[in-house]
Amino acid sequence: MDINKRLAEELQVKITQVEAAVKLIDEGNTIPFIARYRKEATGSLNDEVLRNLFERLTYLRGLEEKKEQVLSSIEEQGMLTDELRAKIEAAETMVLVDDLYRPYRPKKKTRASVAKEKGLEGLALIIKLQQTKDPIEKEAEPYVNEEKGVANVEEAIQGAKDILAEAVSDEADYRTYIRDLTVKEGTISSTAKDETVQSVYENYYRYSEPIKKVAGHRVLALNRGEKEKILTVKIEAPEERILQYLEKQTIVRDNPVTTPLLKEVCEDSYHRLIQPAIEREIRNDLTEKAEDGAIDVFGKNLEQLLMQPPIAGKVVLGWDPAFRTGCKLAVVDPTGKVLDTKVIYPTAPQNKVEESKRELKKIFDKYNVDLISVGNGTASRESEQVITELLKELKSPIQYVIVNEAGASVYSASKLATEEFPNFDVGQRSAASIARRLQDPLAELVKIDPKSIGVGQYQHDMNQKKLSEALTGVVEDSVNKVGVDLNTASASLLEYISGISKTLAKNIVEYRENNGRFQDRRELLKVPKLGPKAFEQCAGFMRILDGKNPLDGTSVHPESYEAATKLMEKLGVTPAELRDLQKASKAGGKKAGGKSLSSKVGDKKKLAEELGIGEITLTDIIKELEKPARDPREDMPAPILRSDILNMEDLKPGMRLKGTVRNVIDFGAFVDIGVHQDGLVHISQMTDRYIKHPLEAVSVGDVVEVEVLGVDLQKKRISLTMKLQGDKK
């Protein structure tokens, strides 16, 4: 198999792009580095395509390795024919290779192997040839042998049938046909073990759907219901057609002696050997596809969460809500430093509302708090009510934001949090994390295992290794898109940078603590264990503001500094101007709105040749000189700042509200509209055009306008629509 050609076809890109990407991967380059600094070679393949390429490359190389092992094993047995070799070499999946290898794989003890040990292969051959005219009992008599364990003709006949049943089961072509037919025409169904039991699986108590149509989220729900012993799930195949097919393949002539026996063999082979295996394979395949789809949704949700725009330059009060143990507060200055912590008890059972308000007013006055960041967990609703009452009593305006606190408790109990806040308890650490999530979501969320951030469905049912790898890839891509300030980034943030391991991240922080600020990117080479390859991979993503070279504050890679310096001279951009633009961008002033340089360039191809770089690299350098240190998160929707609250009882059908998308799942999206209970926008209510998945319309963090369709107070369910009809006054 030509792996590169296959990848080019699957990903619908040029073979030259695939060849370049595979070569770069094999040389040890990271996906973010290839995506950003090797666009010339790959024809600008982005990080998503490159990760898909890497995943398929790994699978296809594993497939080729498996083929070699199988061919070697069959050859050792002296059973390898040219036809079988060709079939194995042409196989495109691991399942097909397994099917072809099945007859030659060393087997555990089976009914067929036991029958062979008893010397019954001769009788099996007589039945298979379908030529005998004598009663089968007469043919079986010579095979009765008590010493070998064949007590009578019935046992001999049964043993021969067992040998034939396994032979039918081992035919790869039969399995392929049956598997394909079952997927095409079969159904997946479920029933309740006890219909009187109330559960979240009630929709599946009497459920049936064609296999080819079943959605991923339903597969995962069925799996979980089965695991929890509430559902019985099975695959129902077109059995009559399958048995007819097997009989047609097996019975080559009408023989009154052998035909009835071979019909029994086909039925036994299918029910006992083929059907259970194929049901397992189909269920596994459905699960794998469903997991891949769910992991993809997880990844896209996580990316949106990580890429939320930071709210810079604000003093934030982090509020970790709770009942019995009180609400933990942490005041954090604009740099993320914790100024103060406190515990108040405005919620049940203490209900010290007035006392809590007095404490909050003191904190607001003392630290000039600009914003309150409230976690969306237990007692969030009750905390929100206290906050909105208090805000009405204040002279100076303060707003609040509800933030997703998923993973905050995991972080606050972690070794990292203990090192960061050795004198704080878990509640204080959690409140500090909730505050910092508003100031810089990316820098804070990288401290948490991506799986614990919990944006998606059925995360605990997934293949945890695959989920972890996919989500880690999302975090890497996000961190590298934004880049990091080399002089302030934590080890947690640095370890996601291209080419930087956990050890190197710690070494960078230690070097910084012992030697002071980095003045130059090349100083990274003085960090213990950080060699030229790691420097090549990471340097472009590390930013140094106010360093010796203003290009160190941009995403221009040091390998292009010579070309970038010549370009600056040609375009009349001075190092001082570049520094000023970086400072303005960092301060959140003018959005790095430098000169428009593209118009000055003229013939790009000629200029690129003159500078000794590619056109794509030239374009990237020009963009960076126009808007140095630009944060891509600026383009993302900002969080909704609130100062008042709605009750669920206040909601009426037809009411319009702005909300934040909190979670996207296969059948819709949950939107926070400020009533503590998120509302569901079903996929059918998202847009007038047909969409296969909600991610085509919305992402986590999006601010959307919705209309209330219905409110079920008893079940605490809110139905929303994004299909707004006309303008309502």
Give the pLDDT confidence of 523-558 residue by residue, as tens digits.
999 999 999 999 999 999 999 988 999 999 999 999
Which region among 82-96, 223-237, 632-646 has the lowest average model confidence (pLDDT)? 632-646
User: Is 369:315 a contact under the CB 8 Å cutoff?
Assistant: yes
Note the pLDDT tens digit of each residue in 295-326. 998 898 889 889 989 998 899 999 999 999 99
Distance between CA atoms of 104 and 107, rounded to whole angstroms? 8
Mean pLDDT (the chain) is: 92
Note the pLDDT tens digit of each residue in 549-582. 999 999 999 999 999 999 999 988 899 888 888 7
**Confidence (pLDDT) at 702:** 86
HEC states along 456-495?
A: CCCHHHCCHHHHHHHHHHHHHHHHHHHCEECCCCCHHHHC
Domain ranges of the chain: 3-104, 111-297, 316-439, 478-635, 648-721
Note the pLDDT tens digit of each residue in 322-357. 999 999 999 999 999 999 999 999 999 999 999 999
**Confidence (pLDDT) at 648:** 86
User: Is 675:718 a contact under the CB 8 Å cutoff?
Assistant: yes
Indicate if the pLDDT at residue 454 is higher than 70: no
Which region among 70-74, 281-285, 597-601 has the lowest average model confidence (pLDDT)? 597-601
Q: What is the average pLDDT across 659-668?
A: 90
Indicate if the pLDDT at residue 729 is higher than 50: no
Q: C-alpha distances in angstroms, 455 versus 294, 475, 711?
A: 10, 13, 24
Indicate if the pLDDT at residue 455 is higher than 70: no
Question: How large a percentage of the chain has pLDDT more than 90?
Answer: 76
**Confidence (pLDDT) at 586:** 65
User: 648-721 is classed in which CATH architecture?
Assistant: Beta Barrel (2.40)
Which region among 68-82, 220-234, 378-392, 521-535 has the lowest average model confidence (pLDDT)? 378-392
* CATH 3.40.190.10 describes domain 3-104: no
**Confidence (pLDDT) at 590:** 41
* CATH 1.10.3500.10 describes domain 111-297: yes
Name the CA radius of gyration of the chain, rounded. 33
Give the Cβ contact number of residue 101 at 10 Å: 21
Indicate if the pLDDT at residue 114 is higher than 80: yes
Q: What is the average pLDDT across 143-161?
A: 96
Q: Phi, psi (5° rounding) for residue 682? A: -70, 150
With tokens 């459920």, the residue in question is 207
Indicate if the pLDDT at residue 458 is higher than 80: no
Indicate if the pLDDT at residue 594 is higher than 60: no
| Residues with Cβ within 8 Å of residue 581, at least 6 apart in sequence | 592, 594, 627, 628, 629
Cα angle for residues 288, 286, 93 (degrees, 5° grid): 65
For residue 506, the SS3 value is helix
**Confidence (pLDDT) at 83:** 95
> What CATH class is the domain 316-439?
alpha beta
- Of 395, 555, 566, 428, give the one whose Cα is nearest residue 33: 555
**Confidence (pLDDT) at 380:** 87
Note the pLDDT tens digit of each residue in 168-200. 999 999 999 999 999 999 999 999 999 999 998
Distance between CA atoms of 674 and 655, rounded to whole angstroms? 13
Indicate if the pLDDT at residue 727 is higher than 60: no
User: 478-635 is classed in which CATH architecture?
Assistant: Orthogonal Bundle (1.10)
Note the pLDDT tens digit of each residue in 398-430. 999 988 887 888 899 999 999 999 999 999 999
